[in-house]
Structure 1
Amino acid sequence: MPDDRQPFLSIQRKVAGKVRASQTLTSVYFSLLEEMATNGVTFKGHNALLSGVGKGSINLAIVRGLLAGGTRVIITTSSYSRATVEYYQRIY
């Protein structure tokens, strides 16, 4: 990449009190993204504990993704009822 340009996305870090783009970290980041896009990802054999998993929450979408990837997931929610338990059982 020419010296007068920066990547649209970059990993930055603080150097001598100033935030600067790190070419090394950005390169590693893009390499990992390319590997994941090419080979996919798996969470098989991993465990996750998520709290605040309510209907319509972003955590619920994360739970679905982790389950699809093979993770063993434990969730907590502040609302407890038979209907709530059945709702989450359908997701699992």
Structure 2
Amino acid sequence: MEPKVLKLKHPIGHGDTAITELVFLGPLKGKHMKGVPIGGNAMCMEHILMVGGRLCNQPPSVMAELESEDLFEALAITSGFLPGGPTIGQQPS
């Protein structure tokens, strides 16, 4: 799977660094999904952000600072790594 690059419309300051893009690397592995509920429990935004942060090697503190335009794009990219998984806001059947 090719990396997916999200150029941030609203860069994030993280320490002395300005984060201007997120590079999502695949494929999705077990280490990315650790701690995510399975079975009848739906993934919530927190879980998708956690997986997204792991895919782009960013800490939760960076993912938490994404502004809405960048946030929803990051969530959509992350959902694309979940084969047959739920989309944002969808309950599993």
In which range does the TM-score fall when normalised by the shorter chain? under 0.3
Report the structure, 1 or 2, having the larger helix content: 1
TM-score of the superposed pair, with normalisation by structure 2 = 0.24
- Larger RCO: 1 or 2 (CA < 8 Å, sep 6+): 2
